[in-house]
Amino acid sequence: MSVSDALERACDVLRKAQRILLTSHRRPDGDGTGSMAGLASLLRAQGKEAVIYSVDPIARRYKWLPLISTVVHTIPFDERFDCTIVVDCADISLLGDTLPPPEVCGTLITLDHHASGRPFGDIAVWDAAAAAVGVLVHRIAERESWPVTPECAVPLYVSLISDTGGFRHANTNAEALHVGAELVRAGVVPATIAASLEERPSPGKVRLLGAVLSTLELHCAGRAGVLSVTTEMVEGARASWEDIEGMVNWGRNVDGVQVGVLLTTAKGGGVRVSMRSRSERIDVGKVCMSLGGGGHPGAGGCHMSGDLVTTKDKVVRALDGAFNKTVRPVTSPTAAKESDSAAGD
């Protein structure tokens, strides 16, 4: 089924639906959170009941977004929805056991754009050319001639700039810039959004950033900048795990570096890997796919077993292969599939 056909089928369901559940992967990031809130605003403006559901708390840096105060963290088993929309989720495994049973969900629609995605659901709207799921939501609004209000535009803009790195990543294309312009016309003030997201870090985050920057290592002839975060560093800085978001970009921003990497010791064991690329020559989504994860050309992630040293060695070897155009899949059964958005950057 083509993207256009799948989108039309999804719109057909939405026109008839009255009660709609919206959810995303565990620990939703800017794209997942923004696209849920933006779509909820569109649906509510049409007189529909749209419920935003996330088992995990929404990250502090997104709690100011419209409608996020209405997020629910549990769904009673006697609830019934006409349809459920899962946004920004590359693989059903990334939902864990959070998705309610079919009798609660109704028709299952997925909106996703991960090149490494495994489409699922009754209707899968999957387009790797979309820079963010917010772009797919905007397509729905255009197709249905639904007005985009400031309440809707703000979270969709956050979705867009989150997955394009503020229009700096390789996935930034003409449609992304067009949608961004349309959202500005709808009332978004880019400077205000930037200030809300980036310019008021907590003291703990600043202390943690200093500790993380001290771990910088350059690999692959200076083309990869690798940073590390441990539990001891987070606790020592009196920070939270939310505070590591965005720190991977510091590794990428070093002069001469083309790929930034952040290695984070995971609470349940293993190491989460986040990558960001500033070069069209390196598709970090494919690199992470070779490690058992996935993502986009400009952003990727995975979750690997082992300690930091072992993981770092595997990541560096995979990047060496990418720079030399010899990326090969890692067959280790311990590498769990995880998209960049759930990799904990």
> Over the stretch 237-284, which tens digit does the pLDDT of each residue have?
999 888 898 899 999 999 999 999 999 997 778 999 999 988 777 888
- Please, what are the domains in the chain? 3-198 (3.90.1640.10), 203-342 (3.10.310.30)
What is the pLDDT confidence band of residue 165, given thresholds at 50, 70 and 90? Answer: confident
Q: Where are the alpha helices (DSSP H) in the chain?
A: 3-16, 30-45, 102-105, 133-144, 150-164, 174-185, 190-198, 203-213, 231-236, 248-252, 284-290, 308-323
For residue 311, the one-letter residue type is T
Q: What is the pLDDT of residues 12-71, one digit of tens each?
A: 999 999 999 999 998 899 999 999 999 999 999 999 999 999 999 998 889 999 999 999
Shortest CA distance to 189 belongs to which of 150, 223, 230, 236?
Answer: 150
Q: Which residues of 4-19 are buried (b: 16+ CB within 10 A; e: fewer)?
A: eebbebbbebbeebee
What is the pLDDT confidence band of residue 325, given thresholds at 50, 70 and 90? Answer: confident
Specify the pLDDT at position 133: 97
